[in-house]
Amino acid sequence: MNLISIPALQDNYIWLLDDQNGHCVIVDPGESAPVLEALAAHHLTPSAIMLTHHHHDHTGGVSAIIKQFPAVKVYGPEETSAKGAKIILKSGDEVEIGGVNWSIFATPGHTLGHISYYSAPYLFCGDTMFSAGCGRLFEGTPQQMYQSFQRLAELPDDTLVCCAHEYTVSNLKFARSILPDDSDISAHEQTVVDKRKNGQSSLPTTLGLERKINLFLRCHDVDLQNNLNLNESITHDWQVFALLRQLKDSF
């Protein structure tokens, strides 16, 4: 398979997974124009669209793509049925899409019905996990998002985390504000800053790297907990996660 990232809107990425036989699946098309341009440039015909959640910056291009390619099948959680999804998926489903077998995980937090798609090594996790960060909690709770992270953390280190926004520089800046002496965070921040200066994407990332630089995957880390100066009311890792999300919201 060939993975293609398409910059869209202000800081979104739309993903294409190309089977190298002229067909592809499209993940979270927030707008149609850059997708249609990429399809033409790579001589691809889409067989399916996979949606992770209902927000417009992930679904806004669906109708125009279907208009151009009426045979495209649109998959997504129940919350995307009003956005064009006709094949509704839920946690635990195993489904073949575009000739690939996908495992479906419920990953609530950003939205209540958010799902993620996994087929080794690819993870399409929408706005759940970002490189060095996590999505805002618009509908779900910190405990739900923590559990979603725990589910994704069960995947192998070589998993390619294909998230939907270019937030890596700001996320690493936040991480370094909490752990200023962490060499993995500092080194990767410089790498990403250099990439962005050269117009390169910081994504996809790997889960192995995220275990080192993503504070939201390190809530059990004693150094992190010490630097947060936790009060005695915080006794569970999900509460550490909640505090980190609160701090990031006001960073």
Given the DSSP bridges, would you call strands 133-134 and 73-76 parallel, antiparallel or unpaired? unpaired
Active-site option among 54, 57, 114, 182: 57
DSSP bridge partners of 88: 76
Active-site option among 54, 58, 114, 188: 58
Binning the chain into helix, strand and coil, the percentages to the nearest 5 are: 35, 25, 40
Is 58 a residue of the active site? yes
Task: Tell me the CA distances in angstroms from 100 to 92, 120, 122, 153, 154, one per residue in order.
Answer: 16, 10, 11, 22, 21
Is 165 a residue of the active site? yes
Active-site option among 18, 28, 54, 127: 127
Is 188 a residue of the active site? no
Q: Which of 17, 1, 12, 82 is nearest to 50 (CA)?
A: 17
Is 184 a residue of the active site? no
Binding-site residue ranges for Zn(2+): 53, 55, 57-58, 110, 127, 165
- 182 contact partners, CB below 8 Å, separation of at least 6: 175, 176, 223
What is the residue whose two structure tokens read 């700001």? 170
Active-site option among 54, 110, 114, 188: 110
Is 181 a residue of the active site? no
DSSP string of 45-103, one letter each residue: EEEEEE-S---HHHHTTHHHHHHH-TT-EEEE-GGGGGGT--EE--TT-EEEETTEEEE
Binding-site residue ranges: 53, 55, 57-58, 110, 127, 165
Active-site option among 28, 54, 114, 165: 165
Catalytic positions, please?
53, 55, 57-58, 110, 127, 165
